[in-house]
Chains A and B, each alone.
Chain A
Amino acid sequence: METRELTCIQCPMGCQLTVTVDGENVTVTGNTCPRGAVYGKKEVTAPTRTVTSTVVVEGGELARASVKTASDIPKGKIFEVMEEIRAAKVPAPVNIGDVIVENAAGTGVDVIATKNVGRAAE
């Protein structure tokens, strides 16, 4: 049996949740509404996050373009995804939505550009 303390972020109340995992059985206490229970369960069983960062742009009007994972990825994969983002370099121009890293760290999720970066002026 494992117990974890979390702060619920579903609303400004910020309830302190205690989530207990006993095999298949997940119980949430400390929540004051049903959304807190759902949040607590997901955070303990399958937490996910969107990762945002920047990549090097070659020949661009800016040195960097901002990027994000196209959807949430498992929380445990954040640093692996970051390594692939750090290794990436893209030539200008970059457009919002361009795929920068395919299937980042085997998550099945692409890293895509979130900023337009034009070519540097001659």
Chain B
Amino acid sequence: MEYHDLIIIGGGPAGLAAAVAAYDAGVRDLLIIERDDRLGGILNQCIHNGFGLHTFKEELTGPEYADRFIQKVLEREIPYKLRTIVADISPEREVLYVNSDEGAVSVKAGAVVLAMGCRERPRGALGLPGYRPAGIFTAGTAQRLMNIEGYMVGKEVVILGSGDIGLIMARRMTLEGAKVKVVAELMPYSGGLKRNIVQCLDDYGIPLRLSHTVTKIHGKNRVEGVTISEVGPDRKPIPGTDEFYSCDTLLLSCGLLPENELSKQAGVSLNRVTGGPDVDDSLETSVPGVFACGNVLHVHDLVDYVSEEASRAGANAAAYIKNGARANENVAELEGRGGVRYTVPQRLNIADMAEKVTVRFRVADVYRNKNLVVYYDGSEVRRVKKRIVAPGEMEELVLMKSSFESFPDVKKITVCLED
């Protein structure tokens, strides 16, 4: 069987950054496998600007940001396969890929980086009543049709869900001459970034109706309108609050789901909250030599953080290839509590950790004037004031190796919000 030191599944921002970092750490026998017909992943259709402020200190569009990393891959002559889909990964890191030139091929990998990204929650997962006429798209599908293939998907639009892609598409469709009538959001807060609400909705006078959802889709062949109703604290529609909006198109921006079918086949244990693998501070999953980064690990708001995280995954995979598995003497478990929904990583190898480890997390609601508190086995070690935290903006906290000097045998690290 063919062998490569490192196989990277996915040629989007995570896969590209992981490949570059692994190469720079000395790995020369590596391969990126990408199912689309070019590298860059979802960035290719994210033509708006706002990418790269952290990484490159300038504001780039998605395709430009992708190109910076594609150039790094090309300069290093890192091999990649396009139009190639991975059908299976075994717990022994045998990767089965398929494409129309080679057919089905099995390759053994010294290490694997999972960088498959995420996909959108589709209509079928939302329980929206009504017929199935044409004109219902996930926001990302509409984005691809408009920005890459050049099709205008509708003229009068209602958007359900205020995730960032929905907000971006509200502006995009408005600029192309469509009338976006309303964005309805089930929750009492938006899941999108504030700057997107201001620059995509407020700029164009598009109303955002919080605590509202679509309760009926009208039309049999093409969407003719939707009924929108207010929901109570139980997220159930309140009778008598129905309002009809005529429209020919309904866009859905109702959350992103890490795409982990392959991870499951590899035997990787997944986190119930993130939908991505449980990882340690080297971003290694429960399967030795299999690492994860980017939106397949947990859904990010900013690609800059994806690149940073993926670089660490690539460098750690390189270390695994060179040195083998890390010693696992004292591994602490991380947990989120009191409004902290999850942490990534979920495990910390204290003996072998880097000087600084970035822990990323999301909160369950909008909280004002709280303290972010960290406990090592119940002892408070840190308390940071937070003026505001929101579910739509990922938070982070840095754990220093030196902070464990007085706590060498910690078993549980708790991150929580307190008054």
Q: Interface residues, chain A, CB within 8 Å of chain B?
A: 6-7, 9, 12-14, 49-54, 56, 62-64, 66-68, 75, 78-79, 82, 86, 96, 114-116
Report B-chain residues with C-beta under 8 Å of the C-beta of A52. 47-49, 61
Report A-chain residues with C-beta under 8 Å of the C-beta of B63. 66, 96, 114-115
Sample (29) of A-B pairs whose CB atoms are under 8 Å apart: A6-B198, A7-B202, A9-B195, A12-B393, A13-B387, A13-B388, A14-B388, A49-B203, A50-B59, A52-B47, A52-B49, A53-B175, A56-B150, A63-B148, A63-B149, A64-B148, A64-B149, A64-B150, A67-B47, A68-B47, A68-B61, A75-B203, A96-B64, A114-B47, A114-B63, A115-B47, A115-B63, A115-B64, A115-B67
Closest 6 CB pairs of A and B: A66-B47, A115-B63, A9-B195, A63-B150, A114-B61, A64-B150
In the bound complex, do residue B198 and residue A7 qualify as a contact, i.e. CB atoms below 8 Å apart? Answer: yes
List 11 additional contacts besides A12-B194, A64-B150; criterion CB under 8 Å.
Answer: A14-B194, A14-B388, A64-B149, A66-B61, A66-B62, A66-B63, A96-B63, A96-B64, A114-B47, A115-B64, A116-B67
How far, in whole Å, are A82 and B47 apart by their CA atoms in the complex?
Answer: 14
B390 interface residue, CB < 8 Å from A?
A: yes
A18 to chain B minimum Cβ distance, whole angstroms, is 15
Contact with A along B186-206 (1 / 0, CB 8 A): 000000001101110011000
In the bound complex, do residue A7 and residue B194 qualify as a contact, i.e. CB atoms below 8 Å apart? Answer: yes
B349 interface residue, CB < 8 Å from A?
A: no
How far, in whole Å, are A15 and B49 apart by their CA atoms in the complex?
Answer: 23
* B146 (CB) vs chain A CBs: closest residue: A54
B44 interface residue, CB < 8 Å from A?
A: yes
* B44 (CB) vs chain A CBs: closest residue: A115
B271 interface residue, CB < 8 Å from A?
A: no
B246 interface residue, CB < 8 Å from A?
A: no
Report A-chain residues with C-beta under 8 Å of the C-beta of B48. 52
* B65 (CB) vs chain A CBs: closest residue: A114
Q: Is the interface of A mostly helix, strand, loop or mixed?
A: mixed
Q: How many residue pairs between the two chains, A and B, have CB atoms under 8 Å in the bound complex? A: 73
Report A-chain residues with C-beta under 8 Å of the C-beta of B61. 52, 66, 68, 114
Report A-chain residues with C-beta under 8 Å of the C-beta of B47. 52-54, 66-68, 114-115
* B175 (CB) vs chain A CBs: closest residue: A82
A81 to chain B minimum Cβ distance, whole angstroms, is 9
B215 interface residue, CB < 8 Å from A?
A: no
In the bound complex, do residue B194 and residue A54 qualify as a contact, i.e. CB atoms below 8 Å apart? Answer: no
* A64 (CB) vs chain B CBs: closest residue: B150
How far, in whole Å, are A79 and B149 apart by their CA atoms in the complex?
Answer: 22
A62 to chain B minimum Cβ distance, whole angstroms, is 6
Residues of B366-389 contacting chain A, CB below 8 A: 387-389
* A55 (CB) vs chain B CBs: closest residue: B150
How far, in whole Å, are A115 and B45 apart by their CA atoms in the complex?
Answer: 10
How far, in whole Å, are A92 and B203 apart by their CA atoms in the complex?
Answer: 34
B106 interface residue, CB < 8 Å from A?
A: no
How far, in whole Å, are A51 and B175 apart by their CA atoms in the complex?
Answer: 9
* B388 (CB) vs chain A CBs: closest residue: A13
B141 interface residue, CB < 8 Å from A?
A: no
Residues of B143-186 contacting chain A, CB below 8 A: 146-150, 175-176
B175 to chain A minimum Cβ distance, whole angstroms, is 5
Take A50-B49, A68-B61, A78-B175 as given contacts and tell me if A9 and B147 are in contact as well, using a CB distance cutoff of 8 Å.
Answer: no
Residues of B49-105 contacting chain A, CB below 8 A: 49, 59-64, 67
The interface centre, meaning the residue of A6, A63, A64, A114 with most chain B CB atoms within 10 A of its CB, is A114
How far, in whole Å, are A51 and B199 apart by their CA atoms in the complex?
Answer: 11
Take A54-B47, A68-B61, A116-B67 as given contacts and tell me if A12 and B175 are in contact as well, using a CB distance cutoff of 8 Å.
Answer: no
The interface centre, meaning the residue of B59, B149, B175, B387 with most chain A CB atoms within 10 A of its CB, is B175
How far, in whole Å, are A89 and B194 apart by their CA atoms in the complex?
Answer: 34
In the bound complex, do residue A12 and residue B64 qualify as a contact, i.e. CB atoms below 8 Å apart? Answer: no
B180 to chain A minimum Cβ distance, whole angstroms, is 15
Report A-chain residues with C-beta under 8 Å of the C-beta of B49. 50, 52, 68
In the bound complex, do residue B388 and residue A12 qualify as a contact, i.e. CB atoms below 8 Å apart? Answer: yes
How far, in whole Å, are A12 and B196 apart by their CA atoms in the complex?
Answer: 11
B123 to chain A minimum Cβ distance, whole angstroms, is 26
Report A-chain residues with C-beta under 8 Å of the C-beta of B176. 53, 82, 86
B356 to chain A minimum Cβ distance, whole angstroms, is 23
Contact with A along B126-151 (1 / 0, CB 8 A): 00000000000000000000111110
Report A-chain residues with C-beta under 8 Å of the C-beta of B44. 115
Contact of B64 among A49, A51, A114 (CB under 8 A): A114
How far, in whole Å, are A100 and B64 apart by their CA atoms in the complex?
Answer: 16
In the bound complex, do residue A62 and residue B175 qualify as a contact, i.e. CB atoms below 8 Å apart? Answer: no
How far, in whole Å, are A106 and B92 apart by their CA atoms in the complex?
Answer: 62
The interface centre, meaning the residue of B44, B59, B64 with most chain A CB atoms within 10 A of its CB, is B64
How far, in whole Å, are A96 and B62 apart by their CA atoms in the complex?
Answer: 12
Take A50-B49, A52-B47 as given contacts and tell me if A96 and B198 are in contact as well, using a CB distance cutoff of 8 Å.
Answer: no
Report A-chain residues with C-beta under 8 Å of the C-beta of B148. 62-64
Contact of B147 among A6, A12, A66, A96 (CB under 8 A): A66
